[in-house]
Amino acid sequence: MGYNVAIDGPAGAGKSTIAKRVAKEMGYVYVDTGAMYRALAIYFLKKGLKPEETEKIVEACKEAEVTIGYEEGMQQVYLNGENVTRMLREEAVGNMASVSSAIKEVRAQLLELQRELARTKDVVMDGRDIGTNILPNADVKVYLTASVETRAKRRYLELQEKGVECNLEEIAHDIEERDHRDMNREIAPLKQAEDAVYVDSSDMTIDEVTEAIKALCK
């Protein structure tokens, strides 16, 4: 069994930035589980499916295989052998992932892949149900969050930097909607594990959060 650090929390809390940093500085492997849901979402979108077409998504799921690999320490995600890493962050993909990840069969498809990685490697794994469901015996569990306002501002600045037109209020609205979906779905909803350390990053720098989490590790 590897050493397992589980970081869960809502969209935009800074999980991936922090998890990547902690992994690099501690010499662990970073595993981004959201990217796996996003890869399946790409498959559903490629097939022309709509988020509400649950039955078709369940069927399509059987034809999609997600695997991961690493290039220069960066996680790469493959969908039926094709590297789809560059497409993962598109808005439509995130929205499809948020809806389709509520489906039992979609979650079941990725569960073993995630557990297997944690069995064989020292990992920092981020997602929504890592501490509660995927790795209930993780060595360290963190629930990383920030206010909706802070998360919306971070996303706004990120998009502006990329030159993407955006509206702060719309971003905040999307974040609230996604939180609601992730926290209220029937299967593996986002919630803090009882033994997770709660970290609110609203008024903390990336360095401060990284150090706080590293201090919890062996």
Interaction site with ligand DC (CB under 6 A): 11, 33-34, 37-38, 94, 97-98, 101, 127-130, 178, 182
Pick 182 or 218: Cβ nearer ligand DC: 182
Q: How far is the CB of 94 from ligand DC (least distance, A)?
A: 6
Between 56 and 115, whose beta carbon lies closer to ligand DC? 115
CB of 10 to ligand DC, least distance (A): 9
Work out how close the CB of 109 gets to ligand DC at its nearest, in angstroms, rounded to a whole number: 12
Alpha-carbon distance of 158 to 154, in angstroms, equals 6
Closest distance to ligand DC from the beta carbon of 79 (Å)? 15
Q: Nearest distance from residue 191's CB to ligand DC, in Å?
A: 12
Among residues 14 and 127, whose Cβ is nearest to ligand DC? 127
In sequence order, what are the beta bridge partners of 108? none
Which amino acid, 115? R
Which one, 7 or 27, has the nearer CB to ligand DC?
7
Nearer to ligand DC, 27 or 110 (CB): 110
Helix 168-184 / helix 91-100 crossing angle, nearest 10 deg = 20
| 7 neighbors 213 (Cβ within 8 angstroms) | yes
State the DSSP code for 83: E
Amino acid of residue 44: F
DSSP characters over 170-206 = HHHHHHHHHHHHHHH-SSS-----TTPEEEE-TT--H
